[in-house]
Structure 1
Amino acid sequence: PHIMEDIPNTTTHLQECFACLQSAYRGKITLHLAAEYMLDNLFQERFKRHDLLPLGERGNRLLVETSYLYPAMKFYDTLRRIKEKGYYPVLAHPERYNYMGERGYKTLKEMGVKFQLNLLSLDGMYGKTVRNKARWLLDNGMYDLIGTDVHTWEACKQVKELSLSSRTLKKLSVFKTNGQ
């Protein structure tokens, strides 16, 4: 779930909701609770209090995002502080950040920031520019994780109906085998 000033989900509330989900879930996939944090003032407060829901079995990946139009204040400094606390910052859908270009992506990778692809970006759901950036990032081996930004049943259907080229599928298949 998202956590940001506009959606101030609390850790306790999300844990309660997750417990309800787990009690009703009968699938074979192991579920883990984590959150996607907007790098805003609320994040800064929660980060100081260590009130976080990180990704992964080891709990050492922190999924973060920023505005599509402009970077968060002290963007690079915040990412450095996340690393200093022992987390790997994972930048959600980097292909969707209008302000970011090749140099910015390379700088983030040099800092050790992980990138999470929004799978629907490859299908053009967010427009040609985003699709082209996603393809460039994939072609240059910059993605570390794959996810979706599914918030509606309509988006679920789009994932199910996703049509990708065999070349793209081959590039994505490395995520299955490299322990990511």
Structure 2
Amino acid sequence: MIDLHSHILYDIDDGSKSFDMSIEMLRMAAACGTTDIIATPHVNRRGVVPEWSVIVEKATVLQEDAKKAGIPITIHTGAEVEINFEALNFLKEDARDYCIAGSRYILCELTNQSEPKQTEHLLFELMVRGYRPILAHPERYDRIMEKPRYIWKWLEKGVLTQCNGGSFVGYFGEEVQRRVEMLARKDMICFLGSDAHRTTVRNPDLAPVEVAIKKLTNGAALWQRCEDNGRKLLNKKAIYPSIEGEWREEKPKKKGFFAKLFG
């Protein structure tokens, strides 16, 4: 698997806290079958914008250290950029800074305060500037997920999505798990990422995630699609969402008698 979203670089954001932790995180990732991992430190969170050259240097050094430690994994540079109007000041037209592995694809983070209409404007402005936005973990944004048809619309326009492995195993709660499973049913997930921050909780071990995903009706196809899309991205090939038809709201499942009685 290609892990599209991780915080494995130490001393740059709220992710890995030390060299030893970064190495152990890489070891965990490789052990579960991850062949490539994208280092995506936070950019523009609370207005803090690390220099792109710093991200590249840290990833290069960590790759060298991983090789010395015998860890069979390839690190690629990227960033998790909080998208607001301030971000447009440093995301210049046709630039590649903060993009994934030298491509035009850029991982975009929202907040729980992000509104669909404003988000739509920002995403499409990025596309006009030559970027291909990948929306990071949409299942975690309350206001966006109140109207998931917006995400469907964005996918139709060429925006891509990345969901967190932890969302499938309940790490972020039942509601987020319900949302991500809905996105899976509707083929609205393009990439997977661990969003790993530590070696303990929120770690890069995607093995339990693979088990959980493959229990879903179309889980095996989803896992393979995300792997294929990740490989296409690294090879700088075009990626298209697999959604078809029109958006349809899902009807809530009717509760049985005992479910109604006990909650």
Q: TM-score category by the smaller chain? A: 0.7 to 0.9
Using the alignment, how far apart are the partners of 1:51 and 1:143 within structure 2? 24
- Equivalent runs, 1:52-63 vs 2, <5 Å: 52-56=97-101, 59-63=103-107
What is the Cα deviation at residue 151 of structure 1?
A: 0.9
**Greater gyration radius:** 2
Q: Which has the higher contact order (CA 8 A, sep 6+)?
A: 2
Counterpart residue identity of residue 52, structure 1: D
Query: Structure 1 residue 104: deviation in Å?
Result: 1.6
Question: Any conservation in 1 of the 2:96–2:103 contact (CA below 8 Å)?
Answer: no
Distance in 2, matches of 1:152 and 1:42, equals 29
Task: Provide closer, same or farther for how the CA distance between residues 71 and 90 of structure 1 changes in structure 2, counting only shifts above 3 A.
Answer: same
Comparing 154-163 with 32-41, which one deviates more in the overlay? 154-163
2:90 aligns to what SS in structure 1? helix
Alignment of 1:88-103 (within 5 A): 88-100=132-144, 101-103=147-149
Map 1:77-116; keep pairs closer than 5 Å. 77-100=121-144, 101-116=147-162
CA shift for structure 1 position 87: 1.9
Q: Which moved more, 1:166-175 or 1:13-22?
A: 166-175
What is the letter of the counterpart of residue 106 of structure 1?
A: W
Q: How far has the Cα of 1:173 moved from its partner? A: 2.9
> CA offsets per residue over residues 46-91 of structure 1, 9 Å max, x none?
11374722114x5110100110243388321211121122221100
Alignment correspondent of 1:149: 195
CA–CA separation in structure 1 for the residues paired with 2:45 and 2:138: 20
Question: Aligned residue for 1:20?
Answer: 61
What's the TM-score once normalised by structure 2's chain length? 0.61
Alpha-carbon offset, residue 9 of structure 1: 1.6
* Matched residue SS, 1:156: coil
* One-letter amino acid of the counterpart of residue 19, structure 1: T
1:164 aligns with 2:204: no
C-alpha deviations, 1:114-145, integer Å up to 9, x for none?
A: 00011110111111111011000011101111
Q: 2:28 maps to which residue? A: none
Output the CA distance in 1 between the equivalents of 2:192 and 2:214: 17
Structure 1-normalised TM-score? 0.86
Range with bigger deviation, 123-132 or 13-22: 13-22
| Corresponding residue of 1:30 | 74
TM-align CA RMSD: 2.4
1:47 is paired with a residue of what secondary structure? Answer: coil
The aligned amino acid for 1:48 is: K
Match of 2:224 in 1: 173
CA separation in 1, counterparts of 2:116 and 2:43? 15
TM-superposed deviation, 1:112: 1.3
Alpha carbons of structure 1 residues 72 and 140: separation in structure 2 relative to 1, 3 Å:
closer
Taking only the aligned residue pairs, the percentage that are identical comes to 22
Could you tell me whether the CA contact under 8 Å between 2:169 and 2:208 is conserved in 1?
no
The Cα shift of 1:22 comes to: 2.2
Matched to 1:176, the amino acid is E
Distance 2:55 2:81 in 1: 13
Number of corresponding residues: 179
- Deviation, 1:175, is 2.5
Give distance in 2, aligned partners of 1:42 and 1:72. Answer: 17
Contact 1:83–1:89 (CA under 8 A) maintained in structure 2: yes
Unaligned runs of 5+ in 2: 1-40, 233-263
Matched residue of 1:31: which SS? strand
